[in-house]
């Protein structure tokens, strides 16, 4: 019989086109948030399921870090506290949207398994284990807390099945992908609400200088990167290919106010 804490982290380098390496690739990115002037987190709407206006907060590393260095490992207390702070911020944003119930989960089930020897495996070749939180709202599934977008999902009192594999519970039968127009509207509302809250006295009182919020603004990153003469490297920084470069990333971030600086450090020459 096995005894003690027996687990193993996957050692694997993920291919350049893997979705986990680019927080903006799927077109659902809302913002990048820095905690304690050091730890960066990507906020995006869940690209595969709009039920509950689902969102993800994912740790993407420190400035100039290879994002693959954040995969399949233990996380420091400060990295975890940063995630908790950003998640708390997002719970407040859902409340600002009028959601009566906000739920969160730090799961990662798709990257976890138990092998034939009883050893817990963390991370696999298909999906890395990442420090992240799922967030979703609960209320009347038919109500449009965001105009034009019904909340969807199960009724309050039922468990929210993130994998949507419970056919006996309405709202848990399947995931619901975003309609392009609804996604555009959802991104607009989340960005606007986050921008306004990050500039409020309440935000300053509750978070002080612990969090710096930068709203993501899409643009032609590769064109801008080429103008800055960035070379292509097999490295990924803050969820974006280094061929994009952090200057390009910064140019596509709309700071919540002029007093809040970009959280990103330009790459070393």
Residue 67 near residue 19, CB atoms below 8 Å: no
pLDDT of residue 218: 81
pLDDT of residue 166: 97
Nearest to 112 by CA among 99, 100, 104, 121: 121
If you average pLDDT over each of 157-161, 221-225, 242-246, 260-264, which comes out highest?
157-161
Longest Cα–Cα distance of the chain, Å, equals 61
Non-local (6+) Cβ contacts of 142 within 8 A are 150, 151
Looking at residues 251-263, what average pLDDT do you find? 39
Specify burial of residue 103 (Cβ count, 10 A radius: 0-12, 13-18, 19+).
middle
Strand partners, 103: 136
- pTM for this predicted structure: 0.81
Nearest to 92 by CA among 203, 168, 244: 203
Q: Is 7-13+22-255 assigned to CATH 3.40.190.10?
A: no
Could you read off the pLDDT of 152-195 as tens digits, one per residue?
A: 999 999 999 999 999 999 999 999 999 999 999 999 999 999 99
pLDDT of residue 4: 61
């Amino acid at each position: 019989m096995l005894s003690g804490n027996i687990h193993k982290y996957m050692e694997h380098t993920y291919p350049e086109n893997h979705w986990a390496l680019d927080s903006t690739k799927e077109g659902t990115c809302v913002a990048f948030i820095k905690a304690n002037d050091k730890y960066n987190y990507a906020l995006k709407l869940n690209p595969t399921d709009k039920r509950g206006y689902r969102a993800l907060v994912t740790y993407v590393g420190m400035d100039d870090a290879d994002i693959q260095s954040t995969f399949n490992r233990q996380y420091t207390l400060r990295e975890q506290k940063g995630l908790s702070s950003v998640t708390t911020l997002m719970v407040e944003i859902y409340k600002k949207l009028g959601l009566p119930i906000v739920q969160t989960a730090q799961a990662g089930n798709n990257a976890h398994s138990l092998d034939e020897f009883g050893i817990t495996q963390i991370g696999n070749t298909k999906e890395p284990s990442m420090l992240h939180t799922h967030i979703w709202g609960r209320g009347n599934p038919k109500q449009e807390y965001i105009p034009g977008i019904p909340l969807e999902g199960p009724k309050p009192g039922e468990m929210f099945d993130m994998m949507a594999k419970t056919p006996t519970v309405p709202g848990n039968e399947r995931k619901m992908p975003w309609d392009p127009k609804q996604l555009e509207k959802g991104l607009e509302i989340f960005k606007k609400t986050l921008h306004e809250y990050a500039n409020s006295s309440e935000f300053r009182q509750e978070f002080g200088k612990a969090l710096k919020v930068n709203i993501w603004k899409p643009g032609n990153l590769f064109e801008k990167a080429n103008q800055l003469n960035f070379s292509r490297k097999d490295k990924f920084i803050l969820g974006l290919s280094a061929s994009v470069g952090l200057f390009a990333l910064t140019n596509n971030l709309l700071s919540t106010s002029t007093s809040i600086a970009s959280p990103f450090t330009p790459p070393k020459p």
